[in-house]
Structure 1
Amino acid sequence: MKTSTIPSLRVDPQLRLAAESVLRDGESLSGFVEQAIRQTIACRLADQEFITRGLKARDQARQSGQYVEAGAVLDRLQEMLDRAKSGPTTA
């Protein structure tokens, strides 16, 4: 696939200095912007996948008539969080 460019963007000099101040050694502002765009796209795709899975689960629950009480879900999530915070377990 042929590469293309992202249009130039005019910004206040202070914003450019702030952006340049967070660059890693050897990292360019263009590279930083490209990485930010890629991460944003990946997050959006993950959000869409999450919503799709949620809607599918909703539809399955409606079809089956089987639901889980919100309190039971929260209790299970709290148990998982407590276990994760307590660290690895030994077998």
Structure 2
Amino acid sequence: MTPDMLARAGEALRHGEDWRRPLARLLGPHHPAGPRNEIDPRMVSRWASGAMEIPDWVPEVLARLTRETGERLLDVADELDAEAEPRPRI
């Protein structure tokens, strides 16, 4: 995983806001050494800058989290479509 792909995943999961600290919280429960509230946000920043290599477990977790988020968003969009009243054509 490249720092650019890490940033793309982080921005997608956090809707473009500053994604490093939220990503540290999202990854914490999935840490291979055991769940935690978060991983050190400075570590995520180091990965993003290329100063440290991104661990092998991170891409798999981010792929799963991104898929789950996408599925939830699609479910909400479907519900919104179902509730929308048809608009008369003019």
Short-chain TM bin: 0.3 to 0.5
TM-score by length of structure 2 reads 0.38
TM-score by length of structure 1 reads 0.38
Task: Determine which structure has greater relative contact order: mean sequence separation of CA pairs < 8 Å that are 6+ residues apart, divided by chain length.
Answer: 2
Larger Rg: 1
